[in-house]
Structure 1
Amino acid sequence: MTLEAFADTIVPGEKRFPGDRAVAGVSTGGGAVASGALELLDQSASGYAAVLEPLADALNAHATGYATEAGIDLDPDVPPFAALDHPHRTALLQRLLAPGNPEKEMWVGLALFSNMAFDSAAHLATGEAMAAGHPGLATIGITRPDPDGLWRFPEYSYGRQLAPIHPGTTATGSPS
C-alpha cells in the first residue's frame, strides 16, 4: 500500500474502489498504480524487487516524522505514508527528491519506475498492453497496431520524410 501511494503521488490516478487509501483519487483515469508500477518494480530486472519492503519501511518512517513535524494525526489502520493526504504526500516527496537529499537517488529510482510503468508499460509486451487498455499508453495516445498486429506509420512523425529509404532495405523493412 505504501509503494502504491508513492507511485500514485508521482503519476496520480482515480481511486480503484470507494475505500481505496493508496490511490488518492486526485486525477481521472488510471495513473501509475493502474498502469502496473508495483508489477514493474517487483520484477527482478528492476533491481528493486529485493528491497521493496525496506523502501516501504523507510518511506513510512519519513512519513511518520513528517506527520509529527506537521502536527498530523495519522490513521493507525493504514501505513503512515498512505495515511497522508495527497498534498502532504507531495510535500514529503518534494523533500525526498530534492537536490542535496542524501537519499535522493533511491527515491528518484522509484519515481522513474512509476513513470516508466505509466508511459511505456515496460513490464508488458506493447501489443498485450494495448489490448488490455493500458491507461498510460492510452493517455499518451499510442496508436493501436494494424489488424495483423504490426504497427505501420503511413505519415512521417515530422510531417515529412527525413531521409530516403536505403536501397538495400527489404520489403519487410529490414536492412540487407
Structure 2
Amino acid sequence: MRRIPERKVDIGPDATITLEAYADTIVPGEKRWPGDRAIAGVSAGGGAVASGALDLLRWDATGIHDGLEDLADRVNDHARAYADKAGLTLDPAVPPFVSLDYDDRVRLVQALTAPGHPEKDFWVLLSLFCNMAFDSAAHLHTAEALAEGHPGLTAMGITQPDADGLWRFQDFGYGRQLADPHPDTTPTGSPA
C-alpha cells in the first residue's frame, strides 16, 4: 500500500492556478464552478485537477516540489511570448498561461514538449506527474481513492477491493488460469 504524502510544499495562488491550468491541459476535466479560469471545461467528468494533480506535484516524493513556483513562472513567460507572437491579448487578472484558451494552451504545451526544445525535460516531467495523478492516484491509497470516487481510477474501471481491503480477481486476465498456485502460497497470496 502506498504511503500518504508526509510533506507538501506550499505554493502561491498564481503558481497554483497556473499549474492547475497546465494539469487541465494534460488531462482535461469539467469546470469546478462556472467562473473557473484554470479548468477550461472541455471534458465531462474530473480530469487531472480533480484527481489531485496539485497534491501530487506538491508532494516531496516527486522531486520537483521545490521547483513548482519556478515552473509556473517559466510557463507563464512562455505564455507571454506565445501570446505576443500570435497577437493575442492576455487578461491581466490571471496569470498568462491561465489567460490562454484551451487550444492555445495545448499548442504551447506541444511546443514545450517537442523534441529539441531546450526545456523539454521539465515539461515532459510535469506532464507525466499530471497524468499520473489521474491514471494511478500515486499520491493516495488506492482503496481510499476509489472509496472517494477518484475520477481517473473510476474512469478506468478499477474495481473496489474485497471487504478485507485486498483485491482478488475471479476472472483470469487471459481468460484461463495459466498456472496453479505454488503449494506453499498463503491464503493472502504471499509465498510461504
Whether TM exceeds 0.5 here: the answer is yes
| Selected match of 1:33 from 17, 37, 49 | 49
Report the Cα offset of residue 149 of structure 1: 2.1
User: What pairs up with 1:151-166 in 2 under 5 angstroms?
Assistant: 151-166=167-182
Counterpart among 78, 84, 108 of residue 62 in structure 1:
78
Residue aligning to 2:134: 118
Distance between the aligned counterparts of 2:41 and 2:134, measured in 1? 16
Which of 10, 13, 22 aligns to 2:29? It is: 13
SS of equivalent to 1:172: coil
Provide the alpha-carbon RMSD of the alignment. Answer: 0.8
- Please give the alpha-carbon distance, in whole angstroms, between the structure 1 residues aligned to 2:73 and 2:180: 55
Q: Tell me the equivalent position of 1:46.
A: 62
Structure 1 unmatched runs, 5+:
none
Runs of at least 5 residues in structure 2 that lack an aligned partner in the other structure: 1-16
Pair 1:136-2:157 in alignment: no
Normalising by structure 2, report the TM-score: 0.90
Q: Distance in 2 between matches of 1:147 and 1:117?
A: 25
> 1:167: how far off?
1.7
Q: Percent identity between the aligned chains?
A: 66
Residue identity matched to 2:118: P
Q: Which amino acid aligns with 2:19?
A: L
Amino acid at match of 1:155: D
More displaced 10-residue stretch of structure 1: 53-62 or 148-157: 148-157
Match of 1:148 in 2: 164
Separation of aligned partners in 2, 1:11 and 1:99:
21
3-state SS of paired residue (1:95): helix
Distance, in Å, in 1 between the alignment partners of 2:81 and 2:143 is 44
Give me the whole-angstrom Cα distance separating, in 1, the residues matched to 2:131 and 2:187: 36
Give the CA deviation at 1:160: 1.3
Aligned length: 176
What CA distance in whole angstroms lies between the structure 1 residues aligned with 2:65 and 2:97? Answer: 20
Counterpart Cα distance in 2 of 1:72 and 1:162 = 59
User: Where has structure 1 moved over 6 Å in runs of 4 or more?
Assistant: none
